[in-house]
Structure 1
Amino acid sequence: MTYSHLDPAMQNRVSWNAGKTVGTKRPLTQKQIWAIRFFLDREERLRDRALFDLAIDSKLRGCDLVRLKIGDLVAGSEVRDRAMIIQRKTGRPVQFEITADARSSLATWLLRRGGTIDDFVFPSRIYSGQPMSTRQYARLVDEWVTAVGLRREDYGTHSMRRTKAAMIYRTTGNLRAVQILLGHSKIENTVRYLGVDVEDALVLAERIEI
């Protein structure tokens, strides 16, 4: 049943999202990335450090990140510099880089984890042969951000996906490059995802002198 906002019944009705933080989750800053890495290293959470580094580098959705297999990331005995997967949501391929920090933490985790190229990089603790669930990944992100003093309401798994993309956009202003890296089919999706607005456009324009 729906009401008009002018109906008497709606005058004292509380909105479903009253008091809740909704909308796009914030990307992390470089300082926050360092803080989370320090926390994970101090607590000797090898899996989580590898998961965090890979989440930032890959810019993948949670559903794709948790289903990565060892063979997607490893060639021979080395972690790849670049990898490619088919996105579950769109069915489109997307490539991503694996930087030195991520390669190091992944190599350390995989040495401890063991397994074959057909095994998931981040396995479920409950179901044998299955990947970590996206719900578990979300819980871990909550732990990471609250451990360094951030509000869990402001950050989530999409923060991991947006972080490096936002940094690339701020540094270069190249929306097309970010679109490719995120695997978006339309640049309009990238604009909405990054939260690009008129102020961003003006700042970029002010950098150019003719």
Structure 2
Amino acid sequence: MPRVQLPAVTPRRKAWNKGRLIGQKRPLLPKQVWAIRARLELAGYLRDLALFNVAIDSRLRGCDLVKLAVTDLVKEGRVRERVSVIQSKTKKPVQFELTENTRDAVIAWTRSPEMIGCRFIFPSRFHARPHISTRQYGRLVRDWVTSIGLEPSGYGTHSLRRTKAAEIYRKTGNLRAVHLLLGHTKVDSTVRYLGVEPEVALTIAEGIDI
């Protein structure tokens, strides 16, 4: 009896996102920001506290945040109130302010023994790398949100980038201002990035009387 040649069957690979929460990561709420900040302060994690605070204030992408040099933030022993950096993605400058809490955290970190002779504000503990990687930054974010009881799959490095921008938009409704602060090239990108909830939009509209 002749053998029947069956068609080859290619095994289906498991989808990379199966069982994972994907899509835009949520911004942190103000109370969540303060909860993480308090935990880092109590634990005495100077680097993590400085990194967390700078991430919130700067609204920088992770690739730009980890590459910040000491001289970007500190001049003549004092932390700058306003900073300007060139973004890796757009090659355009973006400005951001550093609040008093952040300036205090940065100066405490830069004066620590671990920072002696370091060029980058967030140096890597591995000799082959001059600064922490975006992957390491992502792991730290996961640890921070987990520490206050949040589901880590819903948050990421972009959560910190979006946090202050979302709060500014919620309070002012000024899309153009948020567009400039995030350093987007197109306003459409800002609209998608904010992921404005209908309830937030209605609240803003209720406050406008014409």
- The alignment's TM-score, normalised by the length of structure 1, stands at 0.88
Counterparts of 1:131 and 1:142, CA distance in 2: 19
For residue 137 of structure 2, what is the aligned residue in structure 1? 137
Does the alignment pair 1:114 with 2:141? no
Residue type of the partner of 1:172?
A: T
For residue 184 of structure 2, what is the aligned residue in structure 1? 184
Q: 1:208 to 1:63 in 2, by over 3 A?
A: same
Counterparts of 2:146 and 2:48, CA distance in 1: 14
Residue type of the partner of 2:115?
A: G
Counterparts of 1:31 and 1:201, CA distance in 2: 21
Give the percent of matched residue pairs that are identical in Structure 1 and Structure 2: 56
Number of aligned positions between the proteins: 199
Q: 1:20 to 1:129 in 2, by over 3 A?
A: closer
For residue 90 of structure 1, what is the aligned residue in structure 2? 90
Residue type of the partner of 2:155?
A: Y
SS of 2:111's partner is helix
For residue 69 of structure 1, what is the aligned residue in structure 2? 69
Q: 5+ unaligned residues in a row in structure 2: which ranges?
A: 1-12
Alpha-carbon RMSD: 2.1
Counterparts of 1:167 and 1:61, CA distance in 2: 17
- The alignment's TM-score, normalised by the length of structure 2, stands at 0.88
In the TM superposition, residue 129 of structure 1 has moved relative to its aligned partner by 6.0
Greater Rg over alpha carbons, structure: 2
In the TM superposition, residue 128 of structure 1 has moved relative to its aligned partner by 5.0
1:10-25 paired onto structure 2 within 5 Å = 17-25=17-25
Counterparts of 1:169 and 1:133, CA distance in 2: 30
In the TM superposition, residue 115 of structure 1 has moved relative to its aligned partner by 3.9
For residue 163 of structure 1, what is the aligned residue in structure 2? 163
1:198-209 paired onto structure 2 within 5 Å = 198-209=198-209
For residue 195 of structure 1, what is the aligned residue in structure 2? 195
Moved more, 124-133 or 94-103: 124-133
For residue 174 of structure 2, what is the aligned residue in structure 1? 174
Residue type of the partner of 1:89?
A: K
Does the alignment pair 1:50 with 2:42? no
Tell whether the 8 Å contact from 1:119 to 1:129 is kept in structure 2 after alignment. Answer: no
SS of 1:96's partner is strand
Counterparts of 1:138 and 1:193, CA distance in 2: 19
Residue type of the partner of 1:38?
A: A
Q: 1:140 to 1:14 in 2, by over 3 A?
A: closer
Q: 5+ unaligned residues in a row in structure 1: which ranges?
A: 1-12
Q: 1:202 to 1:179 in 2, by over 3 A?
A: same
Counterparts of 1:51 and 1:136, CA distance in 2: 12
Q: 1:14 to 1:75 in 2, by over 3 A?
A: closer
For residue 104 of structure 1, what is the aligned residue in structure 2? 104
Query: Structure 1, residues 73-122: CA drift from partner, whole Å, max 9, x if none?
Result: 01101000000000001101000000000000000000004345x70000
